């Protein structure tokens, strides 16, 4: 519908926003790239320009790099698996007419409103503490030895905490998708002889395909940069050091900004590789 | 075989009693049409037969087997929904094969039946497309195809043509009638359109507020409607009703004359009237006239005249009902024989 004139006007009005966005993104990105080619250690007073790819080389060849990439992928994959599977099941459950539906739905959404730091602390101190945690009491009640979750199963514990936070998001999106499925389609499949399980695999799951894609894409973007939960619980110890966390350690603990920046750029590249793969695998669900 | 018997079947949704106890028998191979105004419980009745709703009372028998609590898939019935309810992520072939796959039929037999259905319904050209890429009429055919491959003992149709445009509707009407002639399977067809009912049915069931007003062949309903409701509902345009003195002359509370049974003259006749709107269809003309000095139930009387008759707005005409074509009804609205 747009005429030549209105399109030009639209472009003009968009311009400030686009400009701010560019500045917002490009300046930090350019500075990071710039730092990554410097030997920059402010506390030692070192700021030598242009050391080439030395920082990248050091970051990649350090023994922590590959393991941190693996940790990142395992963590993101695990959280995605738990939230998507759990989200689908919860959405199906919440779609049933049950007593007190409104309250149940609000309760299910609640974890999403809790700040990551707070929820990680709550889990760490109230549930997973080997002495005073609720799990410890539960284990003792059944006569078992309490597990020190954060040192014995650290990766799993963090996956669990973050999944708890993101499950509501997945549930909410999948619930709206479940609700948009026409009841006549379900009835038709019922008459066609499909049992509950067949109805799920052949009708409901394909219908949810698009919503699941959206959940996976959005969550991946946010999960690649998990930080607070690791910081609060294990501090990156016991094999829970993700790429983001490694960058943080290089910059702040080792005070090596050049090395950290190189890591940051590598993280951006990794995120883009993951994004391209995701788009390839699931993106075709998005076009109709 | 597909003989379906409803024995005192009733249905309530909570407090609301949608269908009071109702008896009906549908013979094997019959084409039965449930017709009635919107909201009268036609779909509910069909869904009770299909098993998609539980009855509140009574018994449903299919081929003299009690099927009241049988799950839908086990009743051997196939349903075509108003929205078609095709599976959007499956190709036409997979849609049609779905019930066969669910029944665990072997691949070769599945293909054979799907190909047969595709041939019968002219689906072959778009068998590999998705429902989203089809027109309304094509989707309708796919829905019917999905129903016929199962070789059900009866077909249930819930207003299958109401989403189609007028020309296509006439086409599909013929195709469904043709299908019934070929398959000779029981069909139950729900519609609010009395034209569909008249043209397709072996037997029409007229419903109002969940109550069966009359059951009979199209001509029976047309010639001897049991009450005012059926008289007014069946036939197009609607029957004209006269009350007061004119009715009293025939010992009735109300008399009804169909538009095609009123003779029109410009010079003489029984009732005087003034021409209002004239609808020229070519072959026929429907005149909506305003009677003078006659009590009628509605403001205008409809008359069907020959298409050649040249009458204009404001012309004065005389109406005379044809001999033996007057329907008489008593004070309760029931037909007087
Ligand atoms: N699931 C339901 N819950 C409550 N009332 C219903 C339900 N389904 C239908 N009704 C009511 O039953 C009546 C008949 O509906 P329906 O059988 O769909 O009518 P029709 O198909 O003849 O237009 C309507 O008044 C409708 O409001
Ligand atoms: Mg209906």
Residues B111-155: tens digit of each pLDDT: 999 999 998 888 888 899 999 899 888 998 999 999 999 889 999
Which residue does chain A place closest to B88, by CA atoms?
A: A207
Q: Return the SS3 of A123.
A: helix
- Sketch the domain layout of chain B as residue ranges: 4-229, 237-329
Pocket test for ligand 1, best of B18, B19, B46 (most atoms within 8 A of CB): B18
Residues of A in contact with B87 (CB under 8 A): 185, 188-189, 202-203, 206
Which residue does chain B place closest to A182, by CA atoms?
A: B85
Residues of B in contact with A194 (CB under 8 A): 73, 98, 102
Residue A235 has pLDDT above 80, yes or no: no
Tell me the two tokens of residue A228: 């607070």
B interface mutation test: which of A193, A198, A201, A286 has the most B CBs within 10 A?
A193
Q: Residue A127: pLDDT band by 50, 70, 90 thresholds? A: confident
Mark B167-205 as b/e (b = at least 16 C-beta within 10 Å).
eebeebbebbbebbeeeebbbbbbbbbbebbbebbebbb
Residue A178 has pLDDT above 70, yes or no: yes
The torsion region of residue B41 among left (phi > 0), alpha (psi -120 to 50) and beta comes to left
Task: Give the closest of B83, B99, B132 to A193, CB-based.
Answer: B99
Using a CB–CB cut-off of 8 Å, the residues of A that contact B are: 182, 184-185, 187-194, 198, 202-203, 206-207, 209, 288
Chain A closest-CA separation from residue B188 CA (Å): 16
B44 CA distance to ligand 2 middle (Å): 7
Q: What is the pLDDT of residue A86?
A: 94
Write the burial class of residue A40 (CB in 10 Å: 0-12 exposed, 13-18 middle, 19+ buried).
buried
End-to-end CA distance of chain B: 37
Which of A14-23, A145-154, A193-202, B240-249 comes out lowest in average pLDDT? A145-154
B38 CA distance to ligand 1 middle (Å): 9
Q: Tell me which residues of chain B, numbers 137 to 166, contact chain A at a CB-CB cutoff of 8 Å.
A: 146, 150
Q: Report percent pLDDT > 90 for chain A.
A: 19
Which residue does chain B place closest to A187, by CA atoms?
A: B52
Mean pLDDT score of chain A? 85
CA dist B100 and B91 (Å) reads 15
Q: Return the SS3 of B272.
A: strand
Q: What is the DSSP letter of A203?
A: I
Beta-carbon neighbour count of residue B64 at 10 Å? Answer: 9
pLDDT (average), residues A194-204: 91
Residues of A in contact with B73 (CB under 8 A): 190-194
pLDDT (average), residues A88-106: 85
Tell me the two tokens of residue B197: 């009912």
Q: What is the pLDDT of residue A171?
A: 92
Q: What is the pLDDT of residue B50?
A: 92
Q: Is residue A215 within 8 Å of residue A174, measured between CB atoms?
A: yes
Q: Is residue B83 within 8 Å of residue B57, measured between CB atoms?
A: no
Task: Give the closest of A185, A189, A193 to B103, CB-based.
Answer: A193
Q: Where does ligand 1 bind, in terms of residues with CB under 6 Å?
A: B 13, 16, 18, 36, 38-44
A interface mutation test: which of B72, B113, B159 has the most A CBs within 10 A?
B72
Superfamily of domain A63-286: MetI-like (1.10.3720.10)
Q: What is the pLDDT of residue B20?
A: 92
Q: Report percent pLDDT > 70 for chain A.
A: 97
Give the residue from B216, B207, B98, B209 showing the smallest Cα distance to B147: B98
Residue A151 has pLDDT above 90, yes or no: no
B58 touches chain A (CB under 8 A): no
Tell me the two tokens of residue B87: 């599976």
Contacts 24+ apart (CB under 8 A), A285-288: A285/A209, A285/A210, A285/A212, A285/A213, A286/A210, A286/A213, A286/A214, A288/B132
Q: Is the pTM higher than 0.90? A: no
Mark A177-190 as b/e (b = at least 16 C-beta within 10 Å).
bbeeeeebbbbbbb
Strand partners for B320: B263
Q: Is residue B185 within 8 Å of residue B152, measured between CB atoms?
A: yes
Q: What is the pLDDT of residue A2?
A: 65
Q: Which residues contact B227 (CB under 8 A, 6 or more apart)?
A: B213, B214, B329, B333, B334, B335
Q: What is the DSSP letter of B227?
A: B
B159 CA distance to ligand 2 middle (Å): 7
Q: Whose CA is nearest to atom 14 of ligand 1?
A: B41
Q: State the residue for tokens 């602390």.
A: A121
Q: Which residues contact B118 (CB under 8 A, 6 or more apart)?
A: B92, B93, B96, B124, B127, B145
A29 CA distance to ligand 1 middle (Å): 61
Does domain B237-329 fall into CATH 3.10.450.50? no
Q: What is the DSSP letter of B192?
A: S
Any idea which architecture B4-229 has in CATH?
Answer: 3-Layer(aba) Sandwich (3.40)
Residue A120 has pLDDT above 80, yes or no: yes
Segments of chain B with pLDDT less than 70: none
Residues of B in contact with A193 (CB under 8 A): 73, 99, 102-103
Task: Give the closest of B73, B82, B83 to A191, CB-based.
Answer: B73
Q: Is residue A69 within 8 Å of residue A270, measured between CB atoms?
A: yes
Q: What is the pLDDT of residue B155?
A: 94
Mean pLDDT score of chain B? 91
Q: What is the pLDDT of residue B77?
A: 92
Q: What is the pLDDT of residue A4?
A: 80
Which residue does chain A place closest to B132, by CA atoms?
A: A288
- Sketch the domain layout of chain A as residue ranges: 63-286
Q: Is residue A173 within 8 Å of residue B61, measured between CB atoms?
A: no
ipTM of model over 0.85: no
Contacts 24+ apart (CB under 8 A), A242-245: A242/A68, A242/A71, A242/A72, A242/A75, A243/A68, A243/A69, A243/A71, A243/A72, A243/A267, A243/A270, A244/A72, A245/A68
Tell me the per-residue pLDDT of A35-86, one tens digit each, with 9 for 90 and over.
Answer: 888 888 877 777 778 787 888 888 888 888 888 888 888 999 999 999 999 9
CA dist A125 and A134 (Å) reads 9
Helix ranges restricted to H, B11-106: 42-50, 92-102
Beta-carbon neighbour count of residue A220 at 10 Å? Answer: 19
């Amino acid at each position: 519908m747009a005429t030549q004139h209105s399109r030009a006007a639209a472009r003009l009005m968009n311009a400030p926003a686009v400009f701010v966005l560019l500045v917002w993104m490009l300046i930090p990105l350019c500075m990071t790239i710039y730092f990554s080619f410097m030997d920059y250690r402010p506390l030692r007073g070192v700021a030598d320009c242009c050391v080439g790819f030395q920082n990248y080389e050091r970051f990649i060849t350090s023994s922590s790099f590959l393991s941190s990439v693996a940790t990142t992928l395992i963590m993101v994959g695990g959280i995605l698996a738990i939230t998507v599977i759990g989200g689908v099941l919860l959405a199906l459950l919440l779609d049933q007419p049950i007593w007190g539906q409104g309250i149940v739905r609000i309760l299910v959404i609640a974890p999403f409103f809790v700040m990551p730091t707070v929820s990680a602390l709550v889990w760490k101190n109230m549930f997973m503490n080997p002495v005073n945690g609720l799990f410890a009491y539960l284990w003792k009640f059944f006569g078992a030895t309490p597990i020190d979750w954060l040192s014995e199963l650290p990766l799993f514990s963090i996956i669990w905490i973050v999944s708890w936070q993101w499950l509501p998001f997945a549930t909410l999106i999948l619930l709206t998708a479940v609700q948009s499925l026409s009841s006549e389609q379900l009835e038709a499949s019922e008459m066609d002889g499909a049992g509950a399980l067949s109805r799920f695999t052949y009708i409901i799951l394909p219908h949810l395909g698009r919503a699941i894609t959206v959940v996976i894409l959005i969550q991946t973007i946010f999960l690649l940069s998990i930080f607070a939960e690791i910081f609060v619980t294990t501090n990156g110890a016991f094999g829970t050091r993700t790429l983001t966390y490694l960058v943080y350690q290089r910059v702040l603990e080792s005070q090596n900004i050049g090395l950290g920046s190189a890591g940051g750029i590598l993280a951006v590249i990794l995120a883009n590789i993951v994004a391209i793969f995701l788009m390839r695998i699931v993106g075709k669900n998005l076009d109709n | 075989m597909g003989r379906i018997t409803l024995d005192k079947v009733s249905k309530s949704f909570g407090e609301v009693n949608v269908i009071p106890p109702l008896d009906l028998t549908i013979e094997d191979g019959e084409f039965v049409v449930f017709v009635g105004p919107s909201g009268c419980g036609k779909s509910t009745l069909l869904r009770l037969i299909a098993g998609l709703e539980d009855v509140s009372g009574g018994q449903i028998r299919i081929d003299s087997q009690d099927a009241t609590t049988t799950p839908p898939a086990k009743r051997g019935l196939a349903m075509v929904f108003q929205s078609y309810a095709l599976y959007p992520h499956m190709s036409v072939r997979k849609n049609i094969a779905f019930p066969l796959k669910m029944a665990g039929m072997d691949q070769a037999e599945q293909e054979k039946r799907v190909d047969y259905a595709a041939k019968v319904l002219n689906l072959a050209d778009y068998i590999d497309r998705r429902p989203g890429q089809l027109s309304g009429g094509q989707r309708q055919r796919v829905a019917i195809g999905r129903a016929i491959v199962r070789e059900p003992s009866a077909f249930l149709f819930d207003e299958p043509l109401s989403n189609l445009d007028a020309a296509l509707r006439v086409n599909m009407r013929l195709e469904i009638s043709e299908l019934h002639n070929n398959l000779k399977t029981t069909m139950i067809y729900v519609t609010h359109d009395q034209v569909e009912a008249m043209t397709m049915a072996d037997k029409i069931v007229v419903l109002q507020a969940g109550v069966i007003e009359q059951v009979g062949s199209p001509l029976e309903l047309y010639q001897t409607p049991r009450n005012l409701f059926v008289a007014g509902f069946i036939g197009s345009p609607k029957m004209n009703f006269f009350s007061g003195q004119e009715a009293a002359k025939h010992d009735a509370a109300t008399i009804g004359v169909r538009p095609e049974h009123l003779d029109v003259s410009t010079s003489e006749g029984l009732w005087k009237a003034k021409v209002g709107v004239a609808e020229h269809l070519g072959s026929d003309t429907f005149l909506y006239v305003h009677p003078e000095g006659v009590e009628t139930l509605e403001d205008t009387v409809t008359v069907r005249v020959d298409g050649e008759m040249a009458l204009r707005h404001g012309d004065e005409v005389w109406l005379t009902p044809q001999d033996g074509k007057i329907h008489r009804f008593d004070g309760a609205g029931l037909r007087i024989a």
